[in-house]
Copies of this chain bind each other. A is one copy, B any other.
Amino acid sequence: MTASSSSSHVLIVGSMAFDDLHLPTGSFPSEVGGSATFAALSASLFAPARLVAVVGEDFPEATLALLRERGSDVQGVERAAGKTFRWAGRYADDLASRTTLDTQLNVFAEFQPRLPEAYRDGGVVLLGNIHPRLQLEVLSQVKAPLLVAADTMNFWIEGEREALLEVLARVDLLVINDEELRLLARERNLVRAAGLVRQLGPRSLVVKRGEHGALLFDDDGAFYAPAWPLEAEVDPTGAGDTFAGALLGWVARSGSVDARSLRQGLHVAATVASFCVEDVGTRRLSTLTRGHVTSRLEALARLVRVD
């Protein structure tokens, strides 16, 4: 992985949070989490991240320091008076489903994304999974982005469809999972659903399928990237945000949004996400290096090689 001369950065807006995780392997209170946290930790493996989020007085400085060490800019992270957004959830024994036990928005309830002056120009933009109105707010503050990507979730697809459609009309790349795609397109078949959603705006659509890899649909057709078969999955929390962060980080690093960088990015993203689920919360991402990713990418290439 060599950097392009014209490498860019990734502007990430999303949530930073504490997660109380109840996993088959045990309960883990107050794990650092949030869509922006996972995305920034993975994106910053490949390109500088510029973070826009809000945390409370109780959020650990160490997480912001780690992002700074990785060359990221966290001046857009507002530290507000009060507590950090907190989510509590319990996973099923097979980790395939989870139940939300509690959600405390805390300082996130009043979150109004404000981009520092230094954030407003160019770059790759990742609108993390937050209210579509806030995603639009961010877009209104960005000039000449290289690429605008968005994530979303069932909650907004069902409850804020109109605002979400406004967002879709303005994004180049939508990154969602297969169930979200089916819900958004109101079509069960993924190939047909992808065609329908691309008509809503995004020229490129990435469908995350967890252990089953990821699909890309764009003007060049369809592309499939497998996931690494894990011997032990510990915690799926944040894997989707990690995938999106790594994908956009890779695109920013390559400095151009062509079919090739997107396709390579899918392999990289599936691989970084496979590391994420190997430990609780952001723990694995915090120690992950580009060298680890390169090694697993090589193993992944061997996994699909016939000769």
Interface residues of A in 273-302 (CB under 8 A from B): 302
Q: Does A303 sit within 8 A of B, measured CB to CB?
A: yes
Q: Does A34 sit within 8 A of B, measured CB to CB?
A: no
Q: Does A306 sit within 8 A of B, measured CB to CB?
A: yes
Provided the pairs A189-B233, A191-B229, A222-B229 are in contact, do residues A304 and B306 lie with their beta carbons within 8 angstroms?
no
Q: What residues of chain B lie closer than 8 Å to A232, measured between beta carbons?
A: 189
**A305-B259 Cα distance, complex, nearest whole Å:** 11
> Which residue of B is nearest A209, CB measured?
B212
Q: Does A161 sit within 8 A of B, measured CB to CB?
A: no
Q: What residues of chain B lie closer than 8 Å to A306, measured between beta carbons?
A: 223, 260, 263-264, 267
> Which residue of B is nearest A24, CB measured?
B188
B260 touches A230 (CB 8 A): no
A221 touches B302 (CB 8 A): yes
Q: What residues of chain B lie closer than 8 Å to A264, measured between beta carbons?
A: 306
Instruction: Assign chain A's interface to a size class.
Output: 20 to 34
**A205-B208 Cα distance, complex, nearest whole Å:** 27
* Per-residue B-contact encoding for A161-203, CB less than 8 Å = 1, 0 else: 0000000000000000000000000001111100000000000
Q: What residues of chain B lie closer than 8 Å to A307, measured between beta carbons?
A: 260
B191 touches A223 (CB 8 A): no
A224 touches which of B189, B229, B231, B267 (Cβ 8 Å): B229
Q: Does A117 sit within 8 A of B, measured CB to CB?
A: no
Q: What residues of chain B lie closer than 8 Å to A191, measured between beta carbons?
A: 229-231
Interface residues of A in 106-150 (CB under 8 A from B): none
A224 touches B188 (CB 8 A): no
Q: Does A33 sit within 8 A of B, measured CB to CB?
A: no
A222 touches B189 (CB 8 A): no
Q: What residues of chain B lie closer than 8 Å to A222, measured between beta carbons?
A: 229, 303
Q: Does A226 sit within 8 A of B, measured CB to CB?
A: yes
**A230-B224 Cα distance, complex, nearest whole Å:** 13
Q: Does A36 sit within 8 A of B, measured CB to CB?
A: no
A303 touches which of B188, B209, B224 (Cβ 8 Å): B224
Q: Does A215 sit within 8 A of B, measured CB to CB?
A: yes
Other 18 A-B pairs with CB < 8 A, given A189-B231, A213-B226, A226-B304: A94-B188, A189-B233, A190-B229, A191-B229, A192-B231, A212-B212, A221-B302, A221-B303, A222-B229, A222-B303, A223-B303, A223-B304, A223-B305, A224-B226, A260-B306, A263-B306, A264-B306, A304-B304
